[in-house]
Chains A and B, each alone.
Chain A
Amino acid sequence: MASVATELRISNLPRRHASALKRKAERMGLSAGDYVKQLIEDDLVLDQKAQSTPLEELAAPFRKALEGASEEAIAQLVAKARSRRRR
């Protein structure tokens, strides 16, 4: 099947974002266009996985992190994460 290429243009991208994007692409040995293409592909893969994977499976790392934690411990953890952010 022949693939159909689509060209996307991003308008009004702030200059500092454009230069940061270019710098990051260069660090990765990519052109800015290829880097953006890769970002889009990665994002769509993540979306696809999120749609097809039950929450129970996705929660596994969090389950492990919070194994045996009481409601109080979880509340403290949330409070700590929030206070760290405010500082």
Chain B
Amino acid sequence: MPDPFRLVLDTNALLSGLANRNSASGRVLDHCENRRVVLLLSRPVQSEYRRVLGSAEMLRRNPDITQDAVELVLRRLRYVSEYLGQVRARFRFDRDRDDERFIELGIDGSASHLVTSDNDLLSLTTGHDEVARRFRQRLPGIRVVRPAAFLHEFEARSS
């Protein structure tokens, strides 16, 4: 049996998955929860999730989003994930410093996939600039894909 996919999920994909279970992101989350794939998590990534899930923008949309509601989702993710207590890798990504934590988790967690809808991150596997080259050097095997592409790959491998 091949090794399970090890994935890093960016915040957009997480939020889309929480919003709609039937969406591609929702199905990716379902695979994570049922441990068909390994979800990687670290403290910096968890903090990023926490800040966005508990942001004023989210609260404005639904005041029922409490600190406990945010915490429960994060703890559930942590419960089903492979949690890296300490991430030592450093990767400078000036275009969006907030995305560094996802890349660094990918490096230390030996991720096979970074699942994202972010064009900046998606361009890293094909780009010709210095940062894209550096990215491929640090993460030679990783695939940076949209949730739907990840599912396609996962299903093709499982069939």
- Flag if B65 contacts A78 (CB, 8 Å): no
Contact with B along A51-87 (1 / 0, CB 8 A): 1011110110111111101010011011011101100
Distance in angstroms between the alpha carbons of A53 and B69 in the assembled complex: 12
Q: Does B64 contact A (CB under 8 A)?
A: yes
Check B75–A64 contact: CB distance below 8 A: no
Is B126 in contact with chain A by the CB < 8 A criterion? Answer: no
Q: Is the CB of B55 within 8 A of A64?
A: no
Q: What is the interface of chain A mostly: helix, strand, loop, or mixed?
A: helix
Give the CA-CA distance A59 to B64 in the complex, in Å.
Answer: 12
Closest residue to B64 on the A side, CB-wise?
A61
| Chain B interface category by residue count | 35 or more
In the complex, which residues of chain B have a beta carbon less than 8 angstroms from the beta carbon of A13? none
What is the CB-to-nearest-CB distance from A69 to chain B, in angstroms, rounded to a whole number?
6
Question: Which B residues lie within 8 Å of A50 (CB)?
Answer: 71-72, 75-76, 78-79
Instruction: Pick the residue among B12, B72, B73, B76 that contacts A78 (CB under 8 A).
Output: B12
User: Can you name 24 A-B residue pairings with CB atoms under 8 Å?
Assistant: A46-B72, A51-B75, A51-B76, A54-B33, A55-B73, A56-B21, A58-B69, A58-B76, A61-B64, A63-B19, A64-B64, A65-B61, A66-B15, A66-B19, A71-B12, A74-B15, A74-B16, A77-B52, A77-B58, A78-B11, A78-B52, A80-B57, A81-B51, A85-B55
Q: Does A49 contact B (CB under 8 A)?
A: yes
Known A-B contacts A62-B19, A81-B51; A47 and B75 likewise in contact (beta carbons under 8 Å): yes
Contact of B15 among A53, A77, A84 (CB under 8 A): A77
Range class of the A interface residue count: 20 to 34
On A, residues with C-beta under 8 Å from B are 46-47, 49-51, 53-56, 58-59, 61-67, 69, 71, 74-75, 77-78, 80-82, 84-85
Name, among B15, B56, B64, B71, the residue most crowded by chain A CB atoms within 10 Å (CB to CB): B15
Q: Would you call B129 an interface residue if the criterion is a C-beta within 8 Å of the partner chain's C-beta atoms?
A: no
Q: Let me know if B20 is at the binding interface, CB within 8 A.
A: yes
